[in-house]
Every structure is written in C-alpha cells, then in structure tokens.
Amino acid sequence: MYPASFEYHAPGTVQEALSLLGKLGDDAKLLAGGHSLIPMMKLRLAQPKHVIDLRKVPNLAGVKQDGNTIVVGAMTTHWQVESAPVLREKLPIVSDTAGVIGDPAVRNVGTIGGSLAHADPAADMPATAIAVGFEFVCEGAKGKRTVKVDDWFQGLMATAVKEDEILVEIRIPTWPAGSGGAYLKFPHPASRFAVVGAAAMITLDGKGVCTKAGVGITGAGTKAVRAKGVEAGLAGKTLDQATIEAAAQKAAEGVDVQADLQGSVEYKSHLCRVFARRAIEAAVKRAKG
Ligand SMILES: Cc1cc2nc3c(=O)[nH]c(=O)nc-3n(C[C@H](O)[C@H](O)[C@H](O)COP(=O)(O)OP(=O)(O)OC[C@H]3O[C@@H](n4cnc5c(N)ncnc54)[C@H](O)[C@@H]3O)c2cc1C
C-alpha cells in the first residue's frame, strides 16, 4: 500500500520545524519514528500534504537527570528509554514499559514523544505517564509551556499539544525512597498493543502505610485514564491483600470501556481489575525492596 503523495521537509532546527508548521498549518504532520503515522498514511486514514521529519533536528533525543526530574527528549526511541541507566535505577517502571512496546523493530525506531503525542488508546506508556506523573514540554512560536499529565490525554488520539507546537521533552519526577512501580498488560497476540494495561506507583512509609499512589489504565477505553477510585482505596492504608483487592475492584470506574474484536465491556472491565491488582502487588513488592 502506498500513501497519497506528499511533500517531504527535513528541518535542521526546532525553529525551522515550527516555522514550517506555522506556514503549512493543518496540511502538515510531524514525523518522528513513523511507526504510527506511516501505517495511517498507507491506509489513507491520514493524508497530510506535507510531512515534517524531526529526525534531523539535533538535541531532541536523550535521557538526563535534572535534580529530582528525569528529562527525556521527545525523539528518544523506546529502546533508548528502556536501556537508559538513570531510568533503570530511579524509575524502572518507565524502562519496563518501554521494553514491552511492540517488538525490537518497533522499539528501535518508535519514539516516546511520538507515542505520547499520538495517544493510541492501546499504547503502553500513557498508563505509566499517569501513574508516575509525567509533564510534557511543548514548544511553539511564542516559546515553551508545560502540561501536566492529567491535562494531556484529551480523547481518542487527542492530546494537549497544539497543531502549531512540537512536543520537545518529557519531564519525569523521581519518587521518594520507599517507592516502587510496575506496568503490566494483557498484550494483543499479534501487535503486542495493550488489550488492557495497568501501571501502579506506590510509596510506603516505614510502617508499610501507603503515603502516595498513582494508578493509570490503558487499552480499555478511548484514552488512558487515572484510576482515581483505586488510588483513593490505597492512600493512607496498610497495603495488605484485602486492601489491594478492594482497591483494584474500582479499576474500571471512570474508564469508557469499549467493546471491540478483543473483548466485551464486561471482559475488558474484568481485565482492568485483574491487571490493576497485579500491578499494585508488583509495585508494593518493589517499594519494599
Ligand atoms: C507493529 C507495531 C506494533 C506496535 N506495538 C505497540 C505496543 O505494543 N505498544 C505501544 O504503545 N505502541 C505500539 N506501537 C506504536 C509505536 O509505539 C509507535 O512508535 C508510536 O505509537 C508512535 O511513535 P513514532 O515515533 O513512531 O511516531 P510517528 O508515527 O512518527 O508519529 C505519531 C503521531 O505523533 C505526532 N508526533 C510525533 N512526534 C511528535 C512531537 N514530537 N510533537 C508533536 N507531535 C508529534 C505525529 O505527527 C503523528 O501524528 C506499535 C507499532 C507498530 C507498527
């Protein structure tokens, strides 16, 4: 299958890319790893007249620590996220999530920024972004602005990045000592996308009481969501098995669960509860060291 014809642009700086976006408006699409955009163009679900390739723009990829924040460039590939020592040490949930995206071919080319800007409802990183509390730095002609994760995912493949902006970096807060996190999914057997995925971040105090909890669910609905009922069921409590089970029962609340070829609403709601429980259990294990 071939995409409709388009004009290809390869800007050398963010400024050049922004000026192209400003000039071409709705007719243009940014290209990162191309692992979502190109299939959509081949299926003619997207027919941009102009494609602006970000791969020649320097300084958009890389992982570095800035105090209590890990800064990840938008063009950092899933493999680079998976293998970055600072993430593996401080936030292994993020490395693990990147490591279960697609297959090696996808992870070597697809980017964290492309995934989070595309916001496929079955993508993995959105659940972890919610649980951990990512922030998104968007650059436009007038400068940069930062968007918190709770304002980022706005609907089916819709995020807070504007058409004349570029997502340039993702800022990931480290969590205090006594914290642990895990992302687990029920993968589609062919694509490995999440039929349902759940991410949990937990902080325990010295007595085993949960002082902070973040839980995100992906795959089941039209966008990834924060499982507020689950978080409320964990915070302030000693996380014994009964408490975890009871909290996880609320995992499908607030999710607009969609029936599709992979399962009914009932089945996917069940998967939300099961995978939330498993992710919390794994997070607690890590938090306890
Ligand atoms: C076979 C296959 C299996 C896959 N399996 C999984 C899976 O299991 N889990 C999973 O999560 N994903 C999966 N993916 C998707 C993969 O993770 C893609 O890499 C990702 O969705 C898009 O990233 P990209 O860098 O390829 O972006 P692109 O395809 O280049 O772009 C995607 C969209 O984001 C926009 N965009 C890209 N970068 C920016 C930016 N910096 N600022 C603003 N907008 C931007 C583009 O304009 C486009 O609309 C799979 C893909 C394939 C082909």
Residue-wise pLDDT for 179-200, tens only, equals 999 999 999 988 899 999 999 9
Whole-number pLDDT of residue 166: 98
Q: Which of 77, 73, 183 is nearest to 136 (CA)?
A: 73
Q: Are residues 247 and 230 in contact, defined by beta-carbon separation less than 8 angstroms?
A: yes
Q: Ligand 1 centre from 113 Cα, in Å? A: 8
Ligand 1 center to 158 CA (angstroms): 13
Q: How far apart are CA 142 and CA 102, in angstroms?
A: 36
pLDDT of 143-171, one tens digit each? 999 999 999 999 999 999 999 999 999 99
pTM value > 0.85: yes
Pocket of ligand 1 (CB under 6 A): 29-37, 39, 54, 74, 101-102, 106, 110-111, 113-115, 117-118, 120, 123-125, 161, 166-167, 191-193
Are 68 and 133 spatial neighbours (Cβ–Cβ below 8 Å)? no
Give residue 38 CA to ligand 1 midpoint distance, Å.
9
* Closest alpha carbon to 202 in 182, 220, 227, 179: 179
CA of 209 to the centre of ligand 1 (A): 38
What's the CA gap between 122 and 172, in Å, rounded? 21
CA 244 to ligand 1 center in whole angstroms:
33
Do 244 and 277 meet the contact criterion of CB atoms below 8 Å apart?
A: yes
Predicted pLDDT of residue 289: 85
Ligand 1 atom nearest the C-alpha of 124 is 11
**Exposure pattern of 183-216 as b/e (b: 16+ CB <10 Å)?**
bbbbbeeeeebbbbbbbbbbbbeeeeebebbbbb
Whole-number Å distance, alpha carbon 39 to ligand 1 midpoint, is 10
pLDDT digit string, tens, across residues 44-99: 999 999 999 999 999 999 999 999 999 999 999 999 999 999 999 999 999 999 99
pLDDT over 70 for what percent of the chain? Answer: 100
Per-residue pLDDT, 1:
80
| Mean pLDDT across 3-11 | 96
pLDDT tens-digit series, residues 9-56: 999 999 999 999 999 988 999 999 999 999 999 999 999 999 999 999
CA nearest 279: which of 208, 189, 213?
A: 213
| Candidate of 37, 52, 144, 159 to mutate for ligand 1, largest count of ligand atoms within 8 Å of Cβ | 37
Predicted local confidence at residue 124, as pLDDT: 98
